[in-house]
Structures are given as C-alpha cells and as structure tokens.
Amino acid sequence: MSNIKQYNYKNISISGLPGCGSTTLLAGLKEELKFDGWKGFSGGEFMREYAKEKGLFNEKEGHHHDSRHYEDDFDRQVDLGMREKLNTEKYWILESWLSGFMAQGVEGTFKILMTCSNDAIRIDRIVNRDGVHVDEAKKNMEDRYQANLSKWQRLYGEHWNQWLVTTGKVKAEDQIDFWRPDLYDLVIDTYSQNKEETLETVLDAITKD
C-alpha cells in the first residue's frame, strides 16, 4: 500500500510581488513534498539565469531586472508554457509573478497569492537579499512593477478577457490587475505570518483530511 499522501489539488501556483515571500514558500514546499513526487519551478530564477547567460543582466549591480530585458515571444513562451504544464501535468509547484494568472480556469490548481501589508518589511527583505541601499531597493521595486505591469497588460490583455471577463469573474471595465486577491484560492500576508506558519497553512489546505 502506498504511503504517498492524498492531495486536494494536482498542482500549485505561487504568485507575489518581490519581498512577499513567494520564493521562500516555494523552497519550503519543495522540501516538504519532494518524497511524494512534487517538483518546483521558479520563473524568476529561470529568467534571471537566462538574462545572465545572454549578457542582459549585470549580477554585480545586485538588482533584479524587469521584463523589458526579454522579447515578447520569449515571455509568452515561458508564461504560457507554465499554463500548459498545469493543464497537462501534475505535482508541480510553479512560482512567478504571473503563475496565478496563468492558472486561471485551470482545474485542479491551487492558486496562492503572497502579500506583505507592511512595505517597510518588503523593502528590508529586498535590501538584505540584493545587498543594495534602501533608496535603490525602493526605486528598483517600483520601476520593475510598472515596467512589468505595462508589458504584461499589453501581452495578456486578450487572455484577461478570455479567462476572466467572458467567464464573469471580473467586469469588462475593471482594470487589468494580475494580483487581485479574489482571483486566488488563498491569500497570505507574510507580515502577520512567519515562514513556518505560512508553510503549515498551505500544507493544511492542500492535504486531504
């Protein structure tokens, strides 16, 4: 008889803006679930390695780059490739800014949104991660957000309409917001929950009673 646990979902997506703890949660879930065959993928780390390989990113500067470093077709290939994986495979934990959006309407995917209600904590985490000054971290965080949002609204506006407007989940006049809490199954504020509590919350949610 198999000792593998039974799960409520076949896949997991983790989304969140920088400093909200999404990569920390991914690492924790990969470790906890590895013996049951779960695998993890970080879109941010994948894109970062690609940028370094192509000479698009100077690692010495510390800052994470934005999506303007990539051609549109490459962005689509990676993002829509995650959706295809969620549709056709199981036991994947996919973490990226857009993985939750790409999981909209995909049956069996548990969509997690990571937030941090205290911006000072978010910035402090980024400062410690990247080894940059507070002012640099603030500027880079805002610049990346605006650049990525503008590009992705252009690239995925049609998908927003198809997956969310036509299905009645959002109104046609609503602004495109890939991180609307009501698009997710679970929203975690890492200002009020530490990483151990966050991990336990997710494990409780995905494991059958």
Task: Look at residue 26 and tell me if it is in a domain.
Answer: yes
**pLDDT at position 126:** 84
* Mean pLDDT for the chain overall: 87
Question: Per DSSP, what are the bridge partners of residue 38?
Answer: none
Rg (the chain; Cα; Å): 17
**pLDDT at position 138:** 83
Report helix, strand or coil for 187: strand
Q: Token pair for residue 29?
A: 């879930």
Task: Look at residue 78 and tell me if it is in a domain.
Answer: yes
Start-to-end Cα distance in the chain: 18
Reply yes or no on whether the pLDDT at 176 is more than 60.
yes
* 74: containing domain: 11-203
Measured between alpha carbons, how far is 179 from 34 in angstroms, rounded to an integer?
Answer: 28
Strand order in the sheet with 39-42: 39-42, 92-95, 11-16, 109-115, 186-189
Tens of pLDDT, residues 43-84: 877 665 555 555 555 555 544 455 555 688 888 988 999 999
Domain count for the chain, please give it: 1
The average pLDDT across 22-46 equals 91
Measured between alpha carbons, how far is 83 from 61 in angstroms, rounded to an integer?
Answer: 32
Tens of pLDDT, residues 128-164: 887 778 888 788 788 889 999 999 999 999 999 999 9
Reply yes or no on whether the pLDDT at 167 is more than 90.
yes
β-pairing, 109-115 vs 11-16, is parallel
Task: Look at residue 152 and tell me if it is in a domain.
Answer: yes
Neighbours of 175 (CB within 10 A): 9
Residue 120 CA to chain centroid, in angstroms? 21
**pLDDT at position 80:** 92
Report helix, strand or coil for 15: strand
> With bands split at pLDDT 50, 70 and 90, how would you rate the model's confidence at 103?
very high
Q: Kindly report the backbone phi and psi dihedral angles of residue 18, in degrees, each rounded to the nearest multiple of 5, phi listed first.
A: -55, 140
Please report, rounded to a whole number, the percentage of residues in the chain having pLDDT higher than 90: 67
Measured between alpha carbons, how far is 142 from 137 in angstroms, rounded to an integer?
Answer: 9
Task: Look at residue 2 and tell me if it is in a domain.
Answer: no
Task: Look at residue 4 and tell me if it is in a domain.
Answer: no
**pLDDT at position 62:** 47
Task: Look at residue 208 and tell me if it is in a domain.
Answer: no
Distances in whole angstroms, Cα of residue 30 to Cα of each of 75, 186, 188: 25, 18, 18
Report helix, strand or coil for 92: strand
Task: Look at residue 118 and tell me if it is in a domain.
Answer: yes
Locate the DSSP E strands across 120-199: 186-189
Look up the CATH number of the domain holding residue 194.
Answer: 3.40.50.300
Task: Look at residue 5 and tell me if it is in a domain.
Answer: no
Question: Per DSSP, what are the bridge partners of residue 95?
Answer: 14, 42
Report which DSSP code applies to 8.
S
